[in-house]
């Protein structure tokens, strides 16, 4: 089915949408560093299955506005963007599907505004990824204690450092940067450590680009992403990370709320056991997601699940949506 693009005003933010189909509303929320384009295989498939599918460029990405202030990227802004988009589309509720950071937004929205969420499907990131096990420890302090200053999320807290490295790489070789980003997170390589080398940059931490692209990504995909990153830069997306501790404070009123909506979790086999919080979802023993319908682990798949395994992910998502 045809994908239509338009720009709408959401809470004063000019937001770009990719849209297709009619029926119950399904929102597709991308992660870092992605755009609506990460859902290119799902939009038409879900629309053909009878849904009104909308994939926005979230704030700081693609053709959506890029606010300057770090404080403009809190979890309250991100979840309000989603409910504001529902309002613009004339809907009280939606099925919310998110990948990576989009998964975090989906989980948090289901806790904070349960009346707006019909169901939540999260790809790659579990519901408790954003918060440490010790409620007295801020997220970045927890990651720093466990993994050190070289861990990418801790590294991202430094103003302008990762931004400058990505900007330099975009100027020098934008296509090469995108190839390295996609390959580093995929199930086709040895896996990205997430650790910035001593004296190096976040770009230095990425795997070298492969001689041949993985079968799931084309040179046209690489060019499309490169053009989108050249337009928006990386600072907006990095500012999402710079609000982890602020989000920890802001989310206190709803953080312990269980996800009451029916839920689905999909994760690549390469990451399934790398994140401790995944285990509860994989075993079905999650007290924080009591209505988890199913967890799907895709063997050999990396982080970019909906791009690496589009047919399998589409089938799982459509089965989940139709079951509701």
> Catalytic residue numbers?
100, 241, 303
- Which of left, alpha, beta for 66 (phi over 0: left; psi -120 to 50: alpha)? beta
Q: Please enumerate in sequence order all residues whose Cβ is within 8 A of that of 303, keeping only pairs 6 or more positions apart, or say none.
A: 100, 124, 185, 186, 268, 270, 271
Question: Which two structure tokens, joined as six digits, stand for 130?
Answer: 């954003």
Triad 262, 264, 270: Cα angle to 5°: 160
How many other β-carbons are positioned within 10 Å of the β-carbon of residue 129?
A: 18
What is the arrangement of strands in the sheet containing 4-10, beginning at the earlier edge strand? 4-10, 13-20, 52-56, 25-29, 94-99, 117-123, 263-268, 292-298
Helix residue spans in 192-300 (DSSP H): 202-205, 219-232, 235-241, 244-250, 278-283
Question: At 108, is the secondary structure helix, strand, or coil?
Answer: helix
């Amino acid at each position: 089915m045809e994908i239509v693009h338009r720009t709408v005003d959401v809470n004063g933010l000019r937001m770009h949408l990719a849209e297709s189909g009619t029926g119950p509303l399904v929102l597709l929320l991308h992660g870092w560093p992605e755009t609506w384009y990460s859902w290119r295989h799902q939009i038409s498939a879900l629309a053909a299955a009878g849904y009104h599918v909308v994939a926005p460029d979230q704030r700081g990405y693609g053709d959506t506005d890029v606010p300057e202030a770090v404080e403009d990227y809190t979890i309250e802004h991100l979840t309000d963007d989603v409910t504001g988009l529902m309002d613009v589309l004339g809907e009280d509720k939606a099925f919310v599907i998110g990948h990576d950071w989009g998964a975090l937004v989906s989980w948090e929205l289901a806790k904070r505004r349960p009346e707006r969420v019909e169901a939540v499907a999260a790809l790659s990131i579990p519901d408790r990824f954003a918060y440490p096990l010790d409620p007295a420890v801020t997220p970045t302090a927890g990651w720093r204690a466990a993994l050190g200053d070289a861990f990418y999320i801790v590294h991202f807290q430094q103003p302008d450092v990762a931004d400058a490295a990505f900007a330099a790489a975009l100027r020098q070789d934008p296509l090469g940067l995108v190839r390295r980003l996609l390959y580093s997170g995929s199930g086709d390589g040895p896996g990205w450590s997430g650790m910035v080398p001593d004296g190096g940059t976040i770009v230095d931490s990425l795997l070298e680009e492969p001689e041949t692209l993985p079968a799931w990504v084309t040179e046209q995909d690489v060019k499309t992403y490169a053009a989108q990153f050249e337009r928006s830069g990386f600072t907006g997306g990095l500012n999402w990370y710079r609000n982890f501790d602020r989000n920890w404070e802001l989310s206190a009123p709803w953080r312990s709320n269980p996800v009451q909506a029916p839920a689905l979790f999909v994760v690549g086999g390469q990451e399934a056991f790398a994140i401790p919080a995944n285990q509860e979802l994989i075993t079905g023993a999650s007290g924080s997601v009591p209505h988890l319908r199913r967890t799907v682990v895709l063997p050999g798949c990396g982080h970019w699940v909906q791009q690496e395994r589009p047919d399998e992910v589409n089938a799982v998502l459509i089965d989940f949506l139709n079951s509701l």
